[in-house]
Chains A and B, each alone.
Chain A
């Protein structure tokens, strides 16, 4: 119990929490999109994230930024990040799409009960994770640090580095893009329609299968972007990296109200901050426990999450 420490470092803990939370939020978007439309916990989403982290290292190495490479210029950093986001987004989106095609679509055709979907999802998750483990010999893969944290400014006594700023703003940017897409575009309207009522949406001419493909690709792309941010922040990845991040992100999605894009953002940021406070009070090893306890308490008082669930009424 160390409340004094938390009080003294409240601002600093908040900043690190927001940084971690924005990565959770991006991954949570994938869970939320799929859940909002299909009422399905896509357990394999954590592996979609994992594929993204490896794609990032591969594309960086291919662009000459392997282990031992010199730090590139500012423009080079931006270029590398952009390339990684594109590549990881594409790879993760493709993985998500394959999972949908192989593991979920045959079951949907048969109207299988939710439990069966979950088992198939677990199977896909295990298969992807173990395939990555076999390919990488279960060795962690490091990468040179792309951004050297430099303090930009201080707020309430907390030093904010360029790395933290970059991660938070990139995540916000991705989220704004997705939110706008879902709320303003024609395809996004289709997604919301299917989330609200699949049968009526089908009668109105929305192609349900195409919408489902779309949400898997979008969710996968968000996870891909998150994986780049994760790589820049942590600089290390292994085949099992997705498991914990996936659980946390799902927790974040439930916390904010699953099926709700704004809920995913709020839940992610909140989870990151709260678990950081918890780690400050009880010690680092209790971080995950605090995260789950917060989830249970929130669900007890607000069973639909903080912002309520519903992708269909995302505008509200």
Chain B
């Protein structure tokens, strides 16, 4: 048993070394090369639904839908990564923001919602982002002064409050939910782009019968958001987040306005969460309080940490695993969460820094291990 564990650990070490080697080689490539490879990779992502690659396609469900789900989960993970991975705040109720974004689109855009004015999708989504961001500020303002552990329980409470509100309030139609959530329609596109919404097999891309438009849309949004967060991470704001994560008191002493930047992290995370909720339910076109359970929220946190909190590529991998594996291995439905739970424990023991760790965090963890008490 021990020998087996030891060999597994060594194999994982080799894998991690190889990953680091690839990363080093990647960053030493000339810039044009890197851009060319990135563009090729992105093109591959866009064409995935049509490629029908054996082994990775899902036999039991529509592959494009799975890809769309992956893209939405990646967006969630990117947002959650800002809060958890960069600023080091534990948010267990992230699904609350997701729900706020989704419901805002549904309430403002659906003809069947209690609010009768029906705005087009393109208007609803920015409003949804703004409302989610506002809810992040409203939640963060009183609670971000609390200690870290308490933040976890308060955010958990927030997620539950949003769910109960959605279930029981009149404005959300309770458990009956709201149907006809708006989807992006051709009227929303600028005139020079009207050729685009129908290019897929002659059908409009954003319709119930064709998911590919939603996948492309989500993928585009993911790429834009990842680039944006990357810029933030390397700016003054990002450095402040890192300082707060590693030692909040020291950061405050060095003149970082910690509360302000924590609130920013919360608001940006909330905005991304709201955006992902809005996207996902534009495709579903039906929304009710199911699917906003805290359990999913906790799984998201787990996905971010498994992937490698602080590293965007890592959290994307974590999110894709979380979305993709259950769809690919439907036959294990009854046991998949059990396997997932065991995997979480094993991961934290052998690779606490995640599958694709952020370089800075790896150093942090090594430092801590050195300080470990002898006892």
Contact indicator per residue, chain A 100-132, by CB within 8 Å of chain B (1) or not (0) = 001100110111111111111011111111110
Is the pair A122, B301 in contact by a Cβ cutoff of 8 Å?
Answer: yes
Partner pick for B341 among A107, A109, A123, CB 8 A cutoff: A123
Q: A107-B352, A286-B168 are in contact. Are A247 and B160 (CB under 8 A)?
A: yes
A189 contacts partner chain B, Cβ-Cβ < 8 Å: no
Chain A's closest residue to B349 (CB) is A106
Whether B298 lies near A295 (C-beta < 8 A) is: no
A114→B344 contact, CB < 8 A:
no
In the assembled complex, which residues on chain B have CB atoms less than 8 Å from the CB atom of A111?
Answer: 368-369, 371-373
A250 interface contact, C-beta 8 A: yes
Q: Is the CB of B344 within 8 A of A115?
A: no
The answer to whether A134 has its CB under 8 Å from any CB of chain B is yes
**Cα distance, A4 to B90, chains bound together (Å):** 40
Contact B334 A123 (CB under 8 A): no
Tell me the bound Cα distance from A106 to B5 in angstroms.
14
* Nearest B-chain residue to A295, judged by Cβ: B157
CB pair B365–A112 under 8 Å, yes or no, is yes
In contact, A115 and B309 (Cβ under 8 angstroms)? yes
How far is A286 from B150 in the complex, measured between Cα atoms in Å? 22
Say which one of A20-28, A166-174, A218-226, A296-304 lies at the interface with B: A296-304
**What residues of chain B lie closer than 8 Å to A120, measured between beta carbons?**
344-345, 348-349
| 0/1 interface trace, chain B 43-64, chain A, CB 8 Å (1 if under) | 0000000000000000000000
Closest-by-CB residue of B relative to A291 is B157
- Are the CB atoms of B345 and A285 closer together than 8 Å? no
Q: Is the CB of B90 within 8 A of A115?
A: yes
- Give min CB distance, A54 to chain B, whole Å: 16
CB within 8 A of A134: which of B168, B295, B335? B335
Which of B141-149, B195-203, B221-229, B267-275 contacts the other chain?
Answer: B141-149
On chain A, the residues within 8 Å of B372 by CB distance are: 109-111
From A133, A134, A209, A254, contact of B150 by CB (8 A): A254
Within B102-129, which residues are at the interface with A (CB < 8 Å)? Answer: none
User: Within the assembled complex, what's the spacing in Å between the Cα atoms of A54 and B142?
Assistant: 40
Distance in Å: Cβ of B314 to nearest Cβ of chain A: 14
Q: A254 contacts which chain B residues (CB < 8 A)?
A: 150, 153
Contact A202 B375 (CB under 8 A): yes
Separation of A123 and B302 alpha carbons in the complex (Å) = 8
Are A107 and B168 in contact, CB atoms less than 8 angstroms apart? no
What residues of chain B lie closer than 8 Å to A198, measured between beta carbons?
A: 373, 375
Contact of A199 among B298, B344, B365, B373 (CB under 8 A): B373
B153: which A residues are within 8 A, CB to CB?
A: 41, 247, 250-251, 254, 295
A163 to chain B minimum Cβ distance, whole angstroms, is 28
- Interface range, A side: 35 or more
Contact B341 A126 (CB under 8 A): yes
Q: Range of interface residues on chain B?
A: 35 or more
A292 touches B298 (CB 8 A): no
B321 contacts partner chain A, Cβ-Cβ < 8 Å: no
B348 near A285: Cβ-Cβ < 8 Å: no
CB neighbours (8 Å) of B352 from chain A are: 107, 110, 112-113, 116
CB of B309 within 8 A of CB of A285, answer no
In the complex, how many angstroms separate the beta carbon of A285 from the nearest chain B beta carbon?
A: 5
Q: Is the CB of B345 within 8 A of A247?
A: no
CA–CA, A115 and B88, complex, Å: 9
Residue from A127, A129, A134 with most neighbouring chain B CB atoms (10 Å):
A127
Min CB distance, A48 to chain B, in Å?
15
**Looking at A119, A250, A283, which has the most chain B CB atoms within 10 Å of its CB?**
A119
Partner among B142, B154, B341 whose Cβ is within 8 Å of the Cβ of A130: B341
A126 touches B375 (CB 8 A): no
User: Once the chains bind, are B302 and A122 in contact (CB under 8 Å)?
Assistant: yes
Distance of A288 from chain B, by nearest CB (Å): 6
Per-residue interface assignment for chain B, residues 79 to 94, with 1 indicating a CB less than 8 Å from any chain A CB and 0 otherwise: 0000010001010000
A120-B345, A289-B164 known; A247+B156 contact, CB < 8 A: yes
Distance A247 CA – B36 CA, assembled complex (angstroms): 50
Closest Cβ–Cβ distance, residue A291 to chain B (whole Å)? 8
In angstroms, Cα B294 to Cα A247, docked, is 11
User: How distant is A273 from chain B, measured CB to nearest CB, in Å?
Assistant: 18
Q: A residues 167-201 with Cβ under 8 Å of B?
A: 198-199
If A107-B349, A115-B90 touch, whether A123 touches B344 (CB-CB below 8 Å) is yes
Known: A111-B368, A112-B368, A123-B345. A292 touches B157 (CB 8 A): yes
B345, A127: Cβ atoms closer than 8 Å: yes
Contact between A296 and B345, CB atoms less than 8 A apart: no
Assess whether B35 is interfacial by the CB under 8 Å rule.
Answer: no
Closest Cβ of chain B: how far from A145's Cβ, in Å?
A: 29
**B332-358 with Cβ < 8 A to chain A:** 334-335, 337-338, 340-345, 347-349, 352
Question: Is B152 positioned at the interface, with any CB of A under 8 Å from its CB?
Answer: yes
**Residue pair A114, B148 in contact (C-beta under 8 Å):** yes
Contacts of B347 in A (CB 8 A): 119, 123
Determine if B171 is an interface residue (Cβ-Cβ < 8 Å): no
With a cutoff of 8 Å between Cβ atoms, the chain A residues found around residue B364 in the complex are 113
What's the nearest-Cβ distance from chain B to residue A19, in Å? 22
Query: For B338, what are the chain A residues with a Cβ–Cβ distance below 8 Å?
Result: 126-127, 130-131, 133-134
Q: In angstroms, how far is the closest chain B Cβ from the Cβ of A150?
A: 34
Q: Is the CB of B160 within 8 A of A292?
A: yes
Q: Which of B306, B348, B368, B369 has the largest count of A CB atoms less than 10 A from its CB?
A: B348
Residue of A nearest to B151 (CB): A299
16 cross-chain CB contacts under 8 A: A110-B352, A111-B368, A113-B352, A113-B368, A116-B305, A122-B344, A123-B348, A131-B338, A133-B334, A250-B153, A292-B154, A296-B154, A299-B146, A299-B150, A303-B145, A303-B146
Report which B residues bind A (CB closer than 8 A): 84, 88, 90, 142-143, 145-150, 152-154, 156-158, 160-161, 164-165, 167-168, 294-295, 298, 301-302, 305-306, 309, 334-335, 337-338, 340-345, 347-349, 352, 364-365, 368-369, 371-373, 375
Supplied contacts A285-B168, A292-B154, 16 more A-B pairs, CB within 8 Å: A102-B345, A107-B348, A110-B368, A111-B368, A111-B372, A111-B373, A115-B84, A119-B302, A120-B345, A122-B302, A122-B341, A123-B348, A126-B338, A133-B337, A250-B153, A291-B157
